[in-house]
Homo-oligomer: A and B are copies of this chain.
Amino acid sequence: MSSQSNNAVVLLSGGLDSATCLAIAQARGLDCYTISFNYGQRSRSELDAARKVAQAAKVKEHKVIDLNIGELGGSALTDSAIEVPEEETQGIPVTYVPARNTVFLAYALACAEVTGAGSIYIGVNALDYSGYPDCRPEYIAAFQRLIDLATKTGVEGGSISLETPLIDLSKAEIIKSGTNLGVNYAYTVSCYQADETGGACGRCDSCRLRKKGFSDAGVADPTRYR
Protein backbone atom coordinates (compact mmCIF):
# COMPACT_ATOMS: atom_id res chain seq x y z
CA MET A 1 0.00 0.00 0.00
CA SER A 2 1.37 3.43 -0.90
CA SER A 3 1.98 5.90 1.89
CA GLN A 4 -0.68 8.10 0.28
CA SER A 5 -3.63 5.74 0.62
CA ASN A 6 -2.42 4.77 4.07
CA ASN A 7 -3.48 8.15 5.45
CA ALA A 8 -6.89 8.59 7.04
CA VAL A 9 -8.72 11.61 8.41
CA VAL A 10 -10.61 10.87 11.63
CA LEU A 11 -13.21 13.20 13.14
CA LEU A 12 -12.67 13.43 16.87
CA SER A 13 -15.33 14.97 19.09
CA GLY A 14 -13.92 14.10 22.49
CA GLY A 15 -16.70 11.58 23.05
CA LEU A 16 -16.39 7.83 23.34
CA ASP A 17 -17.66 6.95 19.87
CA SER A 18 -15.03 8.93 17.96
CA ALA A 19 -12.25 7.73 20.31
CA THR A 20 -13.27 4.16 19.46
CA CYS A 21 -13.46 5.02 15.76
CA LEU A 22 -9.87 6.30 15.88
CA ALA A 23 -8.68 3.11 17.60
CA ILE A 24 -10.37 1.03 14.88
CA ALA A 25 -8.74 3.07 12.07
CA GLN A 26 -5.34 2.65 13.73
CA ALA A 27 -5.93 -1.08 14.24
CA ARG A 28 -6.46 -1.23 10.46
CA GLY A 29 -2.91 0.10 10.07
CA LEU A 30 -3.80 3.65 9.00
CA ASP A 31 -1.80 6.80 9.74
CA CYS A 32 -4.41 9.10 11.22
CA TYR A 33 -4.89 12.86 11.01
CA THR A 34 -7.51 13.87 13.56
CA ILE A 35 -9.75 16.94 13.37
CA SER A 36 -11.86 18.56 16.06
CA PHE A 37 -14.14 21.52 15.64
CA ASN A 38 -14.63 24.51 17.86
CA TYR A 39 -18.18 25.44 16.88
CA GLY A 40 -19.22 27.39 19.91
CA GLN A 41 -20.33 24.29 21.80
CA ARG A 42 -21.21 25.08 25.38
CA SER A 43 -18.90 22.42 26.65
CA ARG A 44 -15.29 23.40 25.91
CA SER A 45 -14.07 20.35 27.80
CA GLU A 46 -14.93 18.31 24.65
CA LEU A 47 -11.98 19.92 22.87
CA ASP A 48 -9.63 19.12 25.77
CA ALA A 49 -10.90 15.55 25.72
CA ALA A 50 -10.29 15.25 21.96
CA ARG A 51 -6.73 16.53 22.40
CA LYS A 52 -6.03 14.00 25.17
CA VAL A 53 -7.43 11.16 23.06
CA ALA A 54 -5.31 12.23 20.05
CA GLN A 55 -2.17 12.48 22.18
CA ALA A 56 -2.74 9.10 23.82
CA ALA A 57 -3.22 7.54 20.37
CA LYS A 58 -0.07 9.26 19.01
CA VAL A 59 -1.81 10.47 15.85
CA LYS A 60 0.13 11.98 12.96
CA GLU A 61 -1.41 15.42 13.48
CA HIS A 62 -4.35 16.81 15.45
CA LYS A 63 -6.06 19.94 14.13
CA VAL A 64 -8.68 22.06 15.88
CA ILE A 65 -10.70 24.07 13.38
CA ASP A 66 -12.71 27.14 14.40
CA LEU A 67 -16.15 27.12 12.84
CA ASN A 68 -18.88 29.70 13.05
CA ILE A 69 -21.96 27.47 13.13
CA GLY A 70 -22.56 28.46 16.73
CA GLU A 71 -23.02 32.09 15.65
CA LEU A 72 -25.98 31.03 13.56
CA GLY A 73 -27.79 29.83 16.71
CA GLY A 74 -30.65 27.36 16.70
CA SER A 75 -29.36 24.56 18.98
CA ALA A 76 -29.35 23.87 22.70
CA LEU A 77 -25.72 22.75 22.30
CA THR A 78 -24.54 26.17 21.14
CA ASP A 79 -27.26 28.61 22.16
CA SER A 80 -27.42 29.28 25.90
CA ALA A 81 -31.01 30.54 25.52
CA ILE A 82 -32.19 26.97 24.81
CA GLU A 83 -32.21 24.48 27.68
CA VAL A 84 -30.63 21.04 27.39
CA PRO A 85 -33.43 18.53 28.13
CA GLU A 86 -32.96 15.98 30.91
CA GLU A 87 -35.82 13.69 29.88
CA GLU A 88 -36.04 11.45 26.83
CA THR A 89 -37.76 13.32 23.97
CA GLN A 90 -39.53 12.31 20.74
CA GLY A 91 -38.39 13.36 17.26
CA ILE A 92 -35.36 15.49 16.51
CA PRO A 93 -34.07 16.99 19.77
CA VAL A 94 -33.25 20.64 20.48
CA THR A 95 -29.61 19.57 20.85
CA TYR A 96 -29.51 19.09 17.05
CA VAL A 97 -26.97 21.52 15.54
CA PRO A 98 -28.01 22.65 12.04
CA ALA A 99 -26.08 20.81 9.33
CA ARG A 100 -23.34 19.89 11.80
CA ASN A 101 -22.16 16.62 10.31
CA THR A 102 -22.40 18.10 6.81
CA VAL A 103 -20.05 20.93 7.79
CA PHE A 104 -17.72 18.54 9.65
CA LEU A 105 -17.53 16.11 6.74
CA ALA A 106 -16.98 18.93 4.24
CA TYR A 107 -13.89 19.99 6.20
CA ALA A 108 -12.75 16.40 6.57
CA LEU A 109 -13.03 16.05 2.80
CA ALA A 110 -10.91 19.16 2.21
CA CYS A 111 -8.37 17.78 4.69
CA ALA A 112 -8.42 14.36 2.99
CA GLU A 113 -7.71 15.92 -0.39
CA VAL A 114 -4.81 17.97 0.95
CA THR A 115 -3.22 15.12 2.94
CA GLY A 116 -3.85 12.58 0.18
CA ALA A 117 -5.92 10.44 2.56
CA GLY A 118 -7.80 7.49 1.14
CA SER A 119 -10.46 7.45 3.83
CA ILE A 120 -12.44 9.54 6.30
CA TYR A 121 -13.60 7.97 9.57
CA ILE A 122 -16.64 9.25 11.44
CA GLY A 123 -18.12 7.63 14.52
CA VAL A 124 -21.79 7.95 13.67
CA ASN A 125 -24.15 5.37 14.95
CA ALA A 126 -27.59 4.48 13.68
CA LEU A 127 -28.82 2.72 16.82
CA ASP A 128 -28.08 5.01 19.74
CA TYR A 129 -28.12 8.08 17.54
CA SER A 130 -30.26 10.42 19.62
CA GLY A 131 -32.53 11.11 16.63
CA TYR A 132 -30.12 13.22 14.57
CA PRO A 133 -30.96 12.91 10.86
CA ASP A 134 -27.33 13.24 9.78
CA CYS A 135 -26.26 10.05 11.58
CA ARG A 136 -28.29 7.66 9.40
CA PRO A 137 -26.82 5.19 6.87
CA GLU A 138 -28.72 6.82 3.97
CA TYR A 139 -27.17 10.16 4.88
CA ILE A 140 -23.68 8.59 4.85
CA ALA A 141 -24.37 6.97 1.46
CA ALA A 142 -25.43 10.37 0.08
CA PHE A 143 -22.23 11.96 1.37
CA GLN A 144 -20.12 9.22 -0.24
CA ARG A 145 -21.82 9.96 -3.56
CA LEU A 146 -21.04 13.66 -3.06
CA ILE A 147 -17.37 12.88 -2.36
CA ASP A 148 -17.10 10.84 -5.56
CA LEU A 149 -18.46 13.77 -7.60
CA ALA A 150 -16.98 16.70 -5.68
CA THR A 151 -13.32 16.05 -5.63
CA LYS A 152 -10.30 16.30 -7.84
CA THR A 153 -9.31 12.90 -6.42
CA GLY A 154 -12.65 11.36 -7.46
CA VAL A 155 -12.60 12.92 -10.93
CA GLU A 156 -9.02 11.81 -11.51
CA GLY A 157 -9.89 8.19 -10.74
CA GLY A 158 -8.83 8.01 -7.09
CA SER A 159 -11.25 7.53 -4.27
CA ILE A 160 -11.85 8.70 -0.74
CA SER A 161 -13.91 6.25 1.24
CA LEU A 162 -16.23 7.42 4.01
CA GLU A 163 -15.94 4.84 6.80
CA THR A 164 -18.43 4.41 9.63
CA PRO A 165 -17.23 1.38 11.61
CA LEU A 166 -19.68 2.03 14.47
CA ILE A 167 -22.80 2.49 12.39
CA ASP A 168 -24.48 -0.81 13.37
CA LEU A 169 -23.05 -1.22 16.87
CA SER A 170 -24.86 -0.67 20.13
CA LYS A 171 -23.23 1.60 22.70
CA ALA A 172 -22.25 -1.51 24.68
CA GLU A 173 -20.62 -3.10 21.61
CA ILE A 174 -18.72 0.12 20.91
CA ILE A 175 -17.41 0.19 24.48
CA LYS A 176 -16.40 -3.48 24.36
CA SER A 177 -14.62 -3.05 21.06
CA GLY A 178 -12.75 0.07 22.22
CA THR A 179 -11.82 -1.56 25.52
CA ASN A 180 -10.28 -4.48 23.59
CA LEU A 181 -8.27 -1.97 21.53
CA GLY A 182 -6.98 -0.24 24.67
CA VAL A 183 -9.02 2.99 24.50
CA ASN A 184 -8.88 4.87 27.79
CA TYR A 185 -12.45 6.14 28.12
CA ALA A 186 -11.52 8.23 31.14
CA TYR A 187 -10.20 10.81 28.64
CA THR A 188 -13.53 11.07 26.84
CA VAL A 189 -16.45 13.37 27.64
CA SER A 190 -19.99 12.69 26.43
CA CYS A 191 -22.08 15.03 28.59
CA TYR A 192 -23.96 17.82 26.74
CA GLN A 193 -23.40 20.11 29.71
CA ALA A 194 -20.05 18.97 31.09
CA ASP A 195 -18.30 21.44 33.36
CA GLU A 196 -14.94 22.97 32.47
CA THR A 197 -12.99 19.99 33.74
CA GLY A 198 -15.22 17.48 31.97
CA GLY A 199 -17.39 16.59 34.98
CA ALA A 200 -20.62 15.02 33.68
CA CYS A 201 -24.20 15.82 34.74
CA GLY A 202 -25.35 12.20 34.53
CA ARG A 203 -28.83 13.27 33.47
CA CYS A 204 -28.80 14.49 29.83
CA ASP A 205 -29.60 12.20 26.90
CA SER A 206 -25.93 11.66 26.13
CA CYS A 207 -25.01 10.82 29.75
CA ARG A 208 -27.89 8.35 29.96
CA LEU A 209 -26.81 6.53 26.78
CA ARG A 210 -23.21 6.37 27.97
CA LYS A 211 -24.05 5.12 31.45
CA LYS A 212 -26.31 2.40 30.08
CA GLY A 213 -23.58 1.43 27.55
CA PHE A 214 -20.96 0.76 30.24
CA SER A 215 -23.50 -1.09 32.32
CA ASP A 216 -24.67 -3.28 29.38
CA ALA A 217 -21.05 -3.94 28.34
CA GLY A 218 -20.12 -5.00 31.87
CA VAL A 219 -17.20 -2.55 31.77
CA ALA A 220 -16.43 -0.30 34.74
CA ASP A 221 -17.63 3.25 33.97
CA PRO A 222 -14.68 5.67 34.33
CA THR A 223 -16.92 8.73 33.92
CA ARG A 224 -16.46 11.42 36.54
CA TYR A 225 -19.91 12.62 37.52
CA ARG A 226 -19.92 15.98 39.24
Contacts and interface: CB of A to CB of B under 8 A. Distances in A.
Stoichiometry, copies per complex: 2
A220 to B, nearest CB: 36
A134 interface: yes
A139 B136 CA distance: 21
A129 interface: no
A1 interface: no
Nearest to A107: B103
Nearest to A155: B133
Interface stretch (A13-21, A110-118, A188-196): A110-118
B114 A98 contact: yes
A102 B109 contact: yes
Interface stretch (A48-56, A64-72, A202-210): A64-72
Tell me which of A92, A98, A107, A113 has the highest count of chain B C-beta atoms within 10 A of its own C-beta. A98
A152 B101 CA distance: 12
Interface string A77-114: 00000000000000110001011111101110111011
A99 B65 contact: no
A27 interface: no
